[in-house]
């Protein structure tokens, strides 16, 4: 199982029955195909879709049905369509129970940077800034270190911020962290990963949940 598969397998546990969920572009959209059939959720996309289904099979592709990442999708029975103003009203009005977003950097205080890298072309900030401000719970999923071996879990973000203190939970290929009044806390380790490895690959300071120490 590669790092991305490990992250997705853990992240799917965050989605609970009855939730309205927004999946950010990139890796989070892959969760749409992994939702168990006994879990009834509505997936929302900020371009104006409520009730996104799995990615389409070849004979199901409809170029008019796309998510916020411009990928073709399917729609579950009862799904609905509306303009982006209505979609952002849902987000800003606090009607999204859970937003699962990708990240470039997360700081030890729960700051998130995920919308641009200076000097690289960016089409726009998308809906991430609204989602981190309006969703009831924000979970960020990302690989723990960059391709260059640098920790993406920072003391403070070096890239432009999407939001300050907005992350509730961070899931990486190595561990799960929560952000509490007492600071950043390691609450789970991935299979085969040690506290020593996480500490070595994490720039941020963090506390460790007692249950993790006992395992």
Per-residue pLDDT of 127-167, as tens digits, reads 899 999 999 999 999 999 999 999 999 999 999 999 999 99
From 35-39, 137-141, 201-205, the region with the lowest mean pLDDT? 35-39
3-214 belongs to which homologous superfamily? Glutaconate Coenzyme A-transferase (3.40.1080.10)
Q: Is a pLDDT exceeding 90 seen at residue 172?
A: yes
How does the average pLDDT of the chain come out, rounded? 94
Judge whether 48 and 84 are in contact, CB under 8 Å. yes
Based on the residue annotation, tell me whether 34 is a catalytic residue of this protein. no
Residue 115: which of 154, 162, 69, 70 has the closest Cα?
162
Please report the pLDDT score of residue 139 as a whole number.
98
pLDDT at residue 154 in the model: 98
pLDDT for the residue numbered 18? 96
Ordered by start, the domain boundaries in the chain are 3-214
Cα 64 from Cα 79, distance rounded (Å): 14
User: Are 13 and 36 a contacting pair, CB within 8 Å?
Assistant: no
* Local structure of 25: helix, strand or coil: coil
Question: What is the spatial distance between Cα 37 and Cα 165, in angstroms, rounded to a whole number?
Answer: 34
Residue 15: pLDDT above 90? yes
Q: Which of 14, 34, 46, 203 is catalytic?
A: 46
Per the CB < 8 A criterion, the answer to whether 42 and 22 are in contact is no
Distance, in Å, from the CA atom of 8 to the CA atom of 129, rounded to the nearest integer, reads 23
Task: Read off the tokens for 72.
Answer: 């073709």
Which runs of consecutive H residues, i.e. helices, occur in the chain?
A: 3-11, 84-92, 128-134, 195-200, 210-214
Three-state SS for 137? Answer: coil
pLDDT tens digit sequence for 67-116: 988 899 999 999 999 999 999 999 999 999 999 999 999 999 999 999 98
| pLDDT average, residue stretch 178-188 | 96
């Amino acid at each position: 199982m590669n790092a991305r598969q490990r992250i997705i397998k853990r992240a799917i546990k965050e989605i609970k029955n009855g939730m309205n969920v927004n999946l950010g572009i990139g890796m989070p959209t892959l969760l749409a195909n992994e939702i168990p059939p006994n879990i009834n959720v509505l997936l929302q996309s900020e371009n104006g879709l409520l009730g996104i289904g799995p990615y389409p099979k070849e004979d199901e592709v409809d170029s008019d049905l796309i998510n916020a990442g411009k990928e073709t999708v399917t729609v579950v029975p009862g799904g609905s369509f509306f303009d982006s103003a209505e979609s952002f009203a849902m987000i800003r009005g606090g009607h999204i129970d859970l937003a699962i977003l990708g990240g470039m950097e997360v700081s030890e205080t729960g700051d998130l940077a995920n919308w641009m890298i200076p000097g690289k072309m960016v089409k726009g900030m998308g809906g991430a800034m609204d989602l981190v401000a309006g969703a009831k719970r924000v979970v960020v999923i990302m690989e723990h270190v960059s391709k260059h071996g640098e920790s993406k879990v920072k003391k403070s973000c070096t890239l432009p911020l999407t939001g300050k203190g907005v992350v509730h939970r961070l899931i990486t290929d190595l561990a799960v962290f929560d952000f509490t009044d007492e600071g950043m806390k390691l609450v789970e380790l991935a299979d085969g990963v040690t506290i020593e490895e996480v500490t070595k690959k994490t720039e941020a300071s963090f506390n460790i949940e007692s249950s993790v120490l006992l395992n």
